[in-house]
Amino acid sequence: MIKPIGLTALAIFTTAVLAGGNPEFVGFPAGYQDDYTRYHVQNRANNKQVAEMYANDVALKSVKTGKLEAGSVIIMEVYKPVVDGDGNPVAGSDGLFEKAKLAAVAVMERRNDWSTEFSADDRTDGWGYALYDPSGAPKENDLDCVSCHAPLAGQEFMFSFDQLSAH
């Protein structure tokens, strides 16, 4: 039988585990909409969301070398789409889903001076990850950012590397 104190500890542990990425190390870049460049919009692979991608100046300049430098930050705004009467996303004439509301902001940041407290197992080659709600508060999520990005070593661990390179 789990005692009440055990349930409390389990609840705290579960909340920490479900936080999206590592917001305690990868910060929310306030004002990114004004300071970063939007370089791509796409329907997400899950076919239930649309994403807008932003990059800071370091990423935009260094992508031309094929490797994004420390200080690069990539933002993905995740939007819920407008849905029809059957709950299916509504696409515009360009094939992109019409955006209903901002649901999350994902942040990728590359550094070469991460704290030793930030486990290398939670990063990919200097990239750290975090997920925030639209207000900039950490957002809980059970996705493991590293496991999805790790197979993309040949494209800087990014799903949108080609689009950033073409910008």
pLDDT of residue 15: 35
Contacts of residue 75, Cβ cutoff 8 Å, sequence gap at least 6? 29, 32, 36, 53, 54, 55, 105, 106, 107, 108
pLDDT of residue 19: 52
| Residue pLDDT, tens place only, 133-150 | 999 999 988 878 888 899
Q: Which of 83, 68, 81, 86 is nearest to 41 (CA)?
A: 81
C-alpha angle with apex 110: 105 to 115, nearest 5 degrees? 100
Domains and CATH numbers, the chain: 4-166 (3.50.70.20)
Q: How many CA atoms lie within 13 A of 121 on its CB side?
A: 0
| Residue pLDDT, tens place only, 17-65 | 445 789 999 999 999 999 999 999 999 988 789 999 999 999 999 999 9
d(Cα 23, Cα 45) in Å, to the nearest integer? 24
3-state SS, residue 148: helix
3-state SS, residue 63: helix
pLDDT of residue 128: 97
DSSP letter string over 8-29? Answer: HHHHHHHHHHHBSB-TTTS---
pLDDT at 1 over 90: no
pLDDT at 162 over 80: yes
